[in-house]
Structure 1
Amino acid sequence: MIKRLVIAIILLAALVGGLVGFNRFRDQAIENFFANMPVAVVTVSTVEAKADKWSPVIEAIGTIRASRGVDLTVEATGIVTEINFRANQKVKRGDVLVQLDDSIQRADLAAAKAQANLDRQTLTRAVELRDRQVGSNSALQAAEAAAEASAAQVDRLEAALRQKQLRAPFDGTIGIPRINEGEYLTPGVSVATLQDLDRMYADFTVPEQLLSQLSIGQKVRVTVEGAEGSFDGEIIGIDPKVDPSSRLVSVRAEVVNTDSKLTPGQFAHLNVIQPDEDNVISLPQTALVTSLYGDYVYVVRKLEGEEEKLEARQVFVQIGRRSGDRAEIREGVNEGDIIVTAGQNRLNNGSIVKIDNTLNPADGLAKAEQATQQ
Structure 2
Amino acid sequence: MIKRLLIAIVALVIVAGGIIGYNLFVGKMIAGIFANMKAPPVAVSVTQVVAADWQPGLEAIGTAAAVQGTDLATEAAGIVREIRFAANDRIEKGQALVQIDDRQERADLDSARAALTLAETALTRAKELRQKGVSATSALDEAEAAAIEARATVAKLEATLSTKQLTAPFAGTIGIPQIEIGSYVAAGTVFATLQDRSRMRVDFTLTESEAALVSPGMSVTVTSEVGDVSAEGKITGIEPKIDPNSRLVTLRADVPNEGEKLTPGQFLRVRVALPVEKDVIALPQTVVSSSLYGDSVFVVREEKAEGSDTAELHARQVFIKVGRHFDDKVEIRTGLQSGDQVVNAGQNKLSSGATVTIDNSQSLPGVGGN
What is the TM-score when the length of structure 2 is the normalising length? 0.91
Contact 1:227 1:261 (C-alpha < 8 Å) held by counterparts: no
d(CA) in 2 for partners of 1:321, 1:156: 65
Q: Deviations over 1:203-246 (max 9, x none)?
A: 22223331222110001122225775631200001122233433
- Corresponding letter in the other structure for 1:234: K
- 1:349: Cα distance to partner? 2.2
Contact 2:304 2:311 (C-alpha < 8 Å) held by counterparts: no
- 1:5: Cα distance to partner? 6.8
Q: Closer, same or farther in 2 for the Cα pair 1:365/1:164, shift >3 Å?
A: farther
In structure 1, the partner of 2:347 is 344
Residue 357 of structure 1 pairs with residue 356 of structure 2: no
SS class of match (1:364): coil
Matches within 5 A, 1:133-148: 133-148=133-148
- 1:168: Cα distance to partner? 0.7
In structure 2, the partner of 1:371 is none
In structure 2, the partner of 1:275 is 275
Matches within 5 A, 1:92-131: 92-131=92-131
Contact 1:61 1:270 (C-alpha < 8 Å) held by counterparts: yes
- Corresponding letter in the other structure for 2:366: G
- 1:32: Cα distance to partner? 2.8
- Corresponding letter in the other structure for 1:311: H
Matches within 5 A, 1:38-53: 38-53=38-53
d(CA) in 2 for partners of 1:22, 1:287: 49
Residue 165 of structure 1 pairs with residue 165 of structure 2: yes
- 1:283: Cα distance to partner? 0.6
- 1:154: Cα distance to partner? 0.6
In structure 2, the partner of 1:78 is 78
In structure 2, the partner of 1:372 is none
In structure 1, the partner of 2:331 is 328
d(CA) in 2 for partners of 1:255, 1:78: 40
Q: How many residues align?
A: 365
- Corresponding letter in the other structure for 1:254: D
d(CA) in 2 for partners of 1:198, 1:229: 15
d(CA) in 1 for partners of 2:187, 2:45: 67
In structure 1, the partner of 2:302 is 302
In structure 2, the partner of 1:370 is none
1:319 corresponds to which of 318, 322, 344: 322
Aligned-residue Cα RMSD (Å) equals: 2.3
- 1:57: Cα distance to partner? 2.0
Contact 2:123 2:147 (C-alpha < 8 Å) held by counterparts: yes
The answer to which of 103-112 and 217-226 deviates more is: 217-226
d(CA) in 1 for partners of 2:192, 2:78: 17
In structure 2, the partner of 1:31 is 31
The answer to which of 219-228 and 73-82 deviates more is: 219-228
Q: Closer, same or farther in 2 for the Cα pair 1:359/1:169, shift >3 Å?
A: farther
- Corresponding letter in the other structure for 1:327: V
- 1:19: Cα distance to partner? 4.1
Contact 2:44 2:362 (C-alpha < 8 Å) held by counterparts: no
In structure 2, the partner of 1:22 is 22
SS class of match (1:349): coil
Q: Closer, same or farther in 2 for the Cα pair 1:24/1:244, shift >3 Å?
A: farther
d(CA) in 1 for partners of 2:19, 2:208: 75
- Corresponding letter in the other structure for 1:354: T
Residue 246 of structure 1 pairs with residue 246 of structure 2: yes
Contact 1:96 1:165 (C-alpha < 8 Å) held by counterparts: yes
SS class of match (1:191): strand
What is the TM-score when the length of structure 1 is the normalising length? 0.90
SS class of match (2:212): helix
Contact 2:345 2:362 (C-alpha < 8 Å) held by counterparts: no
d(CA) in 1 for partners of 2:244, 2:367: 38
d(CA) in 2 for partners of 1:342, 1:100: 71
- 1:45: Cα distance to partner? 2.2
- 1:354: Cα distance to partner? 3.0
- Corresponding letter in the other structure for 1:96: A
d(CA) in 1 for partners of 2:312, 2:192: 72
d(CA) in 2 for partners of 1:256, 1:92: 20
Q: Deviations over 1:96-140 (max 9, x none)?
A: 111111111000000001001111111122222222222112222
Q: Closer, same or farther in 2 for the Cα pair 1:2/1:259, shift >3 Å?
A: closer
- Corresponding letter in the other structure for 1:318: K
- 1:189: Cα distance to partner? 2.1
In structure 1, the partner of 2:91 is 91
